Chain A
């Protein structure tokens, strides 16, 4: 059995191949969960009755709905044979008697058609007894409304460090949430088979947990429920915890009516009902020496968790573990807490709190650089981790030298110094349009901080003709996991890619799986697939030695043939499989993997929560329009550490896609809730593609150069590769910092730019107006204050501390 990180010569792993479903995608023939129901006429559709109040006790009158033609049944709490809860924490009643947020599903109507179910849902009478509600994190802080854990990451003595630091700054940094906006909304399709087994097709990233929750809602053991995840039209964390209740509703409907039931959220329902990235609020104090070295940091991070706990605990934990990003902070004390409010229950989203934690330190550095009189790029570079240093929670920053290497490579490839001079020259003569260039690093820990999740299983079948079928516990969200697993199996068995097929993920093939999340899918499942393949190879090796008349040590499995010592002596892999079968050798195997070397104490927030860190550096150049605040991304240079890539085309797609998603989060995507005391309080004001804008072609930089860090082999990970799903999202901080640089060019030297996040054109415009105002203060001869500037000042929206 070969070592996990060792990649054989001529491996299929590492070759650039297209996504395994690319042809199906392009021709419209790839099947997603709800596509299964398109031509069926026997399927009932489930439609939610949703709360129109942020917080209220509710009483339902379902009788009018049953009068609507085509309505078959209305599912309520009375239908639940098991536990009336759709979450993993026991705090999400599936059919609640208290609406906890505007849009909370109170009951589900089953209709012959979507139209009938929709009209039925409209007909259900709901009596609301309104209760006080909390919408914003500020309201929650004022009311002391918190939930879950309140951990602290601490090293040294931050208070003393700040007391003696030559430069101390303090501030508030606020960053908004983010809607996943996977193109495929949540979908479930359930039926009861001939044996009474409940079969649920679900767009879930976590089939085993979906299975478990369906089972407990139905009051049956897990073995009575099978969940299949065909492929997802995007997940990004939004389908890790959120699909469970929806799958349970479909399953309950199928059990109650004996008919197949489909449930597909409309875009508006999906946006109004399901959780999003946590907005974060942070207060901080940071101390620096005269050279700009960080001496100490104190911070309190408060996330808006929404109405239930969901994954807010581990999201907060990861945020605290990433406040340092890539910087050495000797003395540090960071507190975290989770606000409980009457909005959607926030959940996993690519980065899982890491981006919000890193946002704090990047905002601090961006704001204080001008106050220290140090160029922001220089300030960041000086504080990068060096080899031998440890994180605030006590884990060695292994391969810290890669940060410096990537940094230098980006500076070099981007022509950073030259372009910065050119930009300064251009800015000096153009009063209307300013450009900015910034460079930021990423260090991101890989592994689930919930240690039990760091295990995976796989099932590999070799058939007598030598064809291979792979099942594993991970789900395909579009990230290319299945493509990578095919490459792993082909490499481990020494067969061509076309000889391996991958079957959809389902819980009766590989049980007790972890969520496909935390960027861990390829690491964990890849190791499990390889483990299964290695067992089969170990059994085939003696058979081959016998057939080829060589010693076992001389047998090589390559490119679909099995070779002996003599290059001419070989048999087809399929011939060997047939021989092995005839000799009664087992040709299938279950693979298993658990990550070694992890040790995390959540009580003290110390230890080694991660297997390794992924690194990256990005330099971005933006152009800012002084008339409107609109920004344009001109050029981006990225060097990112993916280890020895398992699949370069797939990894490139992950880096670029994550980066652009981060750009959306930081510059464009804005979730707004009704925070007034009016009748719509708590309502999501941006529940659609027309009101919530995610990046389109217009946000794509004119030039985007992505390189993988070289000599980045990762020992102990599958074929030397590294996780890639989440870390590149945080490369987008370079864009926000570049906007800050460009805005600063409208102001005097030393002006600290406070920039709201997301940095929408409006937010940028007010930051420009503040910079211009600072210029006027600095040189009284400048033109008078415009109406816009004075209005801006009065409107109180200038500060990032909104």
Chain B
């Protein structure tokens, strides 16, 4: 079957690629050398490109993604824009002009990636839902896109966090920040990428690719995916590919069969009711954050600390739980929220408590061929929640320790009604801090009592020393996390 990807507005034939060929290598083989390999693990953003993805209003979002982590085959039927597609040296895109004029590039190697991340934010903030809607309206009215774009509301503030997945070693970031924040431009009337946002994103397309290096299959339905995985237990299911892509690039891992499940509708449901929230396992973290709109404070605290926007635009909760890394950031939060997982297989579905899910280092109760369909978070959640991530770097680092708190304080009595604490980075699996929870429940929420419980927390798990942190520091950070949470309630009061 032919594999065709629209690149910078032109359909390009990708037939002949291997299942393991990355989107980055394929784009470069077309002569589009703007995207670079800086790290091959989604940490530097030098490979960033824009992908047309569905937005919540039936239109299209230009989403910045790391091309180094995606298989090229996953782009079948999709639309991609690279730095070359944004503008040319003679006719630069507004974000490119801003970067070039502000001294935003020195060696220039990271710059195309920055341009793509900036462009994604440019269209989100300046050609956002309102602007896109007004373009749509005016286009319907026969006035063309021009009037709509010029009537777009005043430019929203550029969110600098959009660039936190891009590394620059030369500039020190100040000129890039000033280029981004100082940019007054809005998408022009003839901006094809703004216009494209008014129409639906490309649908997922069933894909089958077979070659010497293995096969890539994008099934049409969950049933087909489960059947495939059942027949071929060595197959690797991929969603955002932010973990498998690293395995493939850095450790040379190859699978006989890769099954793309990220666009399966059954895995992309978002249901919110009185009982709680059901999050489809293949929703990206960005999508979840957007749809929850801050209604789950613990998760709202988690998301900005979870990797970078470039990763969150692709990474899924299903993936983070599927890889079952002891230093994943979602599990501690989901443990504190007492999440449950719906696991699907050809035999049907079952529901497990996340606290029972992890069985050993990167081992879980998930059977071969079984997929996580839904993460179910019960309501109501506790009135005091927090997510403390301790890492060397503030943005986009892997946790030395992560601690999630969901504590119910009885305001009248000033005591702890219930406590659930999830920990990452201190054992072979993410764990609940059961002893600490017991030490808190029923006790007064006072400095002395909290200090006692903190010392229990400091003894939870079996932290190790490695290149990120010493065991002693990890233990100390557990203890400090609870002290810090208590201090917050002293300063700010207990949230209702």
Contacts and interface: CB of A to CB of B under 8 A. Distances in A.
B353 to A, nearest CB: 31
Nearest to A654: B106
A761 B88 contact: no
B74 to A, nearest CB: 18
Contacts of B36: 32, 183-184, 233
Contacts of B472: 788, 791-792, 794-795, 797
A661 B169 contact: yes
A353 B392 CA distance: 25
B231 interface: no
B476 A765 contact: yes
A44 to B, nearest CB: 16
A228 to B, nearest CB: 17
Nearest to B97: A26
Contacts of B92: 23, 26-27
Interface stretch (B110-118, B186-194, B265-273, B427-435): B110-118
A649 B391 CA distance: 34
B169 A29 contact: no
A478 B467 CA distance: 31
A429 interface: no
B96 interface: yes
B275 interface: no
A593 to B, nearest CB: 25
B88 A234 contact: no
A652 interface: yes
B203 interface: no
B29 A183 contact: no
Interface in A668-701: 668, 670, 672, 685-686, 688-691, 693-700
Given A19-B106, A693-B392, A700 B170 contact: no
Contacts of A97: none
B171 interface: yes
A267 B164 CA distance: 20
Contacts of A32: 33, 36, 109
Interface string A760-786: 111001100100000000000000001
- Pick the most buried of A21, A27, A182, A769: most chain B CB atoms within 10 A of its CB: A27
Contacts of B31: 38-39
A658 B170 CA distance: 8
Interface in A8-45: 18-19, 21-32, 35, 38-39
B98 to A, nearest CB: 9
Contact of B479 (A26, A694, A786, A797): A786
Contacts of B163: 697
A28 B32 contact: yes
A184 B393 contact: no
Interface in A737-770: 760-762, 765-766, 769
Interface stretch (B216-224, B370-378, B480-488): B480-488
B39 A25 contact: no
B173 interface: yes
A632 B394 CA distance: 9
A234 to B, nearest CB: 4
Contacts, number: 279
Interface in A242-266: 266
Contact of A760 (B164, B167, B392, B476): B392
A698 to B, nearest CB: 4
A689 B109 contact: no
Interface string B321-346: 00000000000000000000000000
Nearest to B96: A26
Contact of A22 (B28, B88, B105, B479): B105
A477 interface: yes
**For the complex, would chain B's binding face be called helix, strand, loop or mixed by DSSP majority?**
loop
Interface string B470-496: 101101110111011001000000000
Nearest to A669: B392
B252 interface: yes
Interface stretch (B140-148, B359-367, B395-403): B395-403
B46 interface: yes
Interface string B79-98: 00011101111001100110
Given A18-B103, A697-B173, A27 B475 contact: no
A268 interface: yes
Nearest to A692: B467
Contacts of B380: none
Contacts of B171: 653, 656-657, 660
A482 to B, nearest CB: 12
Contacts of A765: 473, 476
A115 B169 contact: no
Contacts of A18: 100-101, 103
Given A26-B92, A234-B169, A693 B103 contact: no
Contacts of A652: 103
Nearest to B27: A38
A778 B164 CA distance: 43
A26 B35 contact: no
B393 A699 contact: yes
A786 B167 CA distance: 38
A220 B299 CA distance: 65
Given A688-B39, A762-B470, A787-B458, A26 B480 contact: no
A283 B46 CA distance: 42
A565 B405 CA distance: 82
A256 to B, nearest CB: 26
B200 interface: no
Given A267-B39, A652-B103, A700 B173 contact: yes
A23 B34 CA distance: 12
A730 to B, nearest CB: 14
A693 B397 contact: yes
Contact of A761 (B167, B390, B466, B479): B390
Contact of A27 (B86, B161, B481, B487): B86
A668 B30 CA distance: 38
27 contacts: A22-B108, A26-B100, A26-B105, A26-B115, A28-B112, A31-B33, A38-B28, A181-B169, A234-B109, A266-B250, A478-B109, A653-B171, A657-B170, A660-B172, A661-B172, A688-B39, A688-B43, A693-B397, A697-B163, A697-B395, A704-B172, A761-B392, A762-B470, A765-B476, A766-B473, A786-B455, A788-B475
Interface of A: 18-19, 21-32, 35, 38-39, 115, 118, 122, 180-184, 231-234, 236, 266-268, 432, 477-480, 627-628, 630, 632, 649-650, 652-653, 656-661, 668, 670, 672, 685-686, 688-691, 693-700, 704, 760-762, 765-766, 769, 786-788, 791-792, 794-795, 797
Given A122-B252, A689-B43, A698-B164, 19 more contacts: A183-B44, A184-B109, A231-B108, A234-B170, A267-B37, A267-B39, A267-B40, A478-B105, A628-B484, A653-B171, A656-B172, A661-B169, A690-B43, A696-B394, A700-B172, A761-B390, A788-B476, A792-B472, A795-B472
Ranked 8 nearest A-B pairs via Cβ: A28-B34, A478-B107, A25-B108, A233-B109, A660-B172, A28-B83, A689-B43, A788-B476
